[in-house]
Amino acid sequence: MAAPIEFTVAACDGFARAGRIRTAHGEVATPAFMPVGTRAAVKAMSPDELWEIGYRLVLANAYHLLLRPGPDLVREMGGIARFMAFPGATLTDSGGFQAMSLAKINSISEDGIRFRSHLDGAPVTLTPESAIEVQQALGSDIMMVLDECTPYPAEHGAALKSLEMTARWAERCLRARSSATQALFGIVQGGIYADLRRLSAEQITSLAFDGFAAGGLSVGEPKDAMLEMAALTASMLPADRPRYLMGVGTPSDLIAAVEMGFDMFDCVLPTRNARNGMAYTSAGKISIKRAAYVRDPGPLDSNCQCRTCRTFSRAYLRHLYLSGEILAARALTEHNLFFYARLMREAQAAIASRTFRAYANSVTTALAEGDGADKETD
Amino acid sequence: MAAPIEFTVAACDGFARAGRIRTAHGEVATPAFMPVGTRAAVKAMSPDELWEIGYRLVLANAYHLLLRPGPDLVREMGGIARFMAFPGATLTDSGGFQAMSLAKINSISEDGIRFRSHLDGAPVTLTPESAIEVQQALGSDIMMVLDECTPYPAEHGAALKSLEMTARWAERCLRARSSATQALFGIVQGGIYADLRRLSAEQITSLAFDGFAAGGLSVGEPKDAMLEMAALTASMLPADRPRYLMGVGTPSDLIAAVEMGFDMFDCVLPTRNARNGMAYTSAGKISIKRAAYVRDPGPLDSNCQCRTCRTFSRAYLRHLYLSGEILAARALTEHNLFFYARLMREAQAAIASRTFRAYANSVTTALAEGDGADKETD
């Protein structure tokens, strides 16, 4: 039986690697950033725009889709990619992270997570088995195990207890998986404790997952701790499987994580920041609200070839933003997602030409300019 | 000196006519519907999408642009079309209608309208002269005179007084106009009084305007009165100038008005209704919220070739709408504007082939179906 996905590393430069993930819905070049399509839509974007920018893999949230419109409906409509009319591949998270951050939790036990829907208060139980069942109904190309995301801060003892349950849940997820076309990724936890990260990585990589993720990062811990734990986790993950750093991050975080050997990323920053008037540019972040742009006829980023930069002036975008026009959210989101896609394309090329270090330096220096450097506070 | 616009009637069928308006920013086929771009953006749409649907002329509101970002900025950015990156022609209203409906009016006198901005309460005076000055700064291809829109209901005496001031303001607007590339249209008022409509039409058409509009309709009067006054006004307007029915209307209103001999229309219905989940289809209006569509894999309108109908199912659009996704507003707006554009294209073809009456009958019958017929309550 063919594996549900096939990962090929085409080039390495230090720990960084460039490659491809073949899925049932096409190939994805790595390192890859995944736009977040929470409710089966990337906010403000149409699926053809995502495709034109170059995205071949988007993320959707099982928690949201479980509550509305429900996994059975999505299955009936041909699966999540077809439902949202995205011609590429999809990854779904397990729903656990959102249940813990959005819902009213009733209990987290060995069995699973009991919570009340943030939409209507209806009681829902998510177990390792039901998390897989939901994602199999959604029909994503890559599913994630149900894990307990260790919060920050957490005591060593609590983090240990949590990662051990995550390991038992991981085994249950693997046993529950019946789809031959959907990959399943394990998730390493361990908080910010190096020994626990190692232990969790040993436990999770001993299981036959198609890929591995570092979870429980970017949840409030200091940036240095995040980067240290990410690097440690990456070093423990097998080289022949995709490595996914969940929920990270800023452009400079992504460059740092690519250098550690991560292949996949997701983050709401480019889309959420866009809706708040923030644009990523080759000279750092800018806020389109600033009075300095009121009569500025230039594009957001004179080095950018996206449709927004080819079409609209900063003066117009500022006017749209201040007027609350939907087109402001559209134009800035398209620009930011183009920026992230270009960053990954450039990283791939730099790895292939073994110039990644120089590329990383040049990008990181440029990004530190602008209205404000990329900060934790994103 | 060449006229700022040139209007050519290519075919007539009864009172209905098909033709072209040549402007400094390209040609516009008539009958033409103009999408409303209140704040220099058609809500939820990008300018290239408007162009691809076939729109060559959009409307922007001088009132809104006067307050923000201000006419001087728009002039500095190359005029309204360039500012909003629309590659076609633009029409601006005078700002009077919005001042009277949105702002806190301090006084309406022979001099003009004194009001307070709905944004920040700043005092603004709009006179016939300043309304032209603002529109000349905006650089639209077609400007509208400042008029006093007679409210409904209005006594005969009040409506008479109002239209006479409108006539004096019309002369002042003509005298104030200095641009050789921007057309100026006069506006006929008169409420729902046939004698006053005739009087106003005589007064306004005695002046050297480049086109003529029927104003003060669709402001709350019964549909029959609206249609009767529109038909009467159309019959009084010269055949060699474009005739513009302001603020109207539903698809069946447009068909009726084309049959009266009107050439141009604007209305917020297709865009505003879209944002409220209403779609115009060849079988009448539908509300995407309806539970009947929850598992409906079909398009909004199986006779429609728009991008929304080629891409998304009703089930997905319903999910997007209930989830509050921006893409719902985008997809429904694009569909509705495509519907209106197609209606005008089909009307043009039916006039050219002298089959307009049969076309009008077939459309009007079909539109009466659906979740609900086109009603005043739009």
Q: What is the mean pLDDT of residues A280-301?
A: 96
Nearest to B322 among A68, A312, A316 (CB): A68
CB contact under 8 A, B69 and A319: yes
What CA–CA distance (Å, rounded) separates B236 from B204?
10
pLDDT tens digit sequence for A260-281: 999 999 999 999 999 999 999 9
pLDDT tens digit sequence for B138-154: 999 999 999 999 999 99
Q: What CA–CA distances, in Å, run from A73 to A19, A70, A94, B48, B197?
A: 34, 6, 18, 34, 56
- Mutation site for B-interface testing, chosen from A77, A102, A326 by largest number of B Cβ within 10 Å: A326
pLDDT tens digit sequence for A164-195: 999 999 999 999 999 999 999 999 999 999 99
Cβ pairs bridging A and B (under 8 Å): 104
Burial class (CB in 10 A: 0-12, 13-18, 19+), A225: middle
Using the Cβ of A294 and the Cβ atoms of chain B, whether some distance falls under 8 Å is answered with yes
What CA–CA distance (Å, rounded) separates B361 from A25?
47
Annotated catalytic residue within B141, B263, B266, B301: B266
CA B106 to chain CA centroid, nearest Å: 27
Burial class (CB in 10 A: 0-12, 13-18, 19+), A305: exposed
* DSSP secondary structure of B298-344: S-S-TT--SHHHHH--HHHHHHHHHHT-HHHHHHHHHHHHHHHHHHH
Residue A129 amino acid letter: E
Taking Cα atoms as reference points, which of A50, A275, A33 lies closest to residue B311?
Answer: A50
Annotated catalytic residue within A93, A147, A253, A263: A93
Q: Please, which pLDDT band fits residue A1 given cuts at 50, 70 and 90?
A: low
What CA–CA distance (Å, rounded) separates B121 from B107?
15
Residue B31: asked if its preceding bond is cis (omega within 30°), the reply is yes
Using the Cβ of B337 and the Cβ atoms of chain A, whether some distance falls under 8 Å is answered with no
Separation in Å, CA of B315 to nearest CA in chain A: 8
CB contact under 8 A, A325 and B43: yes
Q: Please, which pLDDT band fits residue B231 given cuts at 50, 70 and 90?
A: very high
Residue B363 amino acid letter: V
Q: What CA–CA distances, in Å, run from A36 to A42, A369, B56, B126, B212?
A: 6, 26, 35, 47, 50
Q: Which chain B residues are closer than 8 Å to A311 by Cβ?
A: 46-48, 85
State if pTM tops 0.90. Answer: yes
Chain A, nearest residue to B295 by Cα: A73
The per-residue pLDDT for B306 is 98
CB contact under 8 A, A330 and B325: no
Please say whether the beta carbons of B333 and B45 come within 8 A.
yes
Which H or E element spans position B256? helix B251-260
Q: Is pLDDT at A373 greater than 50 in this prediction? A: no
The per-residue pLDDT for B378 is 37
Q: Is pLDDT at B377 greater than 80 in this prediction? A: no
Say yes or no: ipTM exceeds 0.95: yes
Q: Which chain B residues are closer than 8 Å to A45 by Cβ?
A: 327
Q: Can you give the C-alpha Rg of chain A in angstroms?
A: 20
Q: Does residue B371 carry a catalytic annotation? A: no
Using the Cβ of A314 and the Cβ atoms of chain B, whether some distance falls under 8 Å is answered with no
CB contact under 8 A, A316 and B40: yes
Please say whether the beta carbons of A336 and A363 come within 8 A.
no
pLDDT tens digit sequence for B15-45: 999 999 999 999 999 999 999 999 999 999 9
Beta bridge partner(s), residue B367: none
Phi, psi of A155 (to 5 degrees): -65, 155
- Mutation site for B-interface testing, chosen from A76, A82, A308, A327 by largest number of B Cβ within 10 Å: A327
Q: What is the mean pLDDT of residues B295-299?
A: 98
pLDDT tens digit sequence for B156-215: 999 999 999 999 999 999 999 999 999 999 999 999 999 999 999 999 999 999 999 999
The per-residue pLDDT for B374 is 46
Chain A, nearest residue to B80 by Cα: A316
* CA dihedral (A40, A46, A49, A53) positive or negative: negative
Taking Cα atoms as reference points, which of A234, A243, A249, A247 lies closest to residue A263?
Answer: A243
pLDDT tens digit sequence for A320-334: 999 999 999 999 999
CB contact under 8 A, B315 and A83: yes
Using the Cβ of B312 and the Cβ atoms of chain A, whether some distance falls under 8 Å is answered with yes
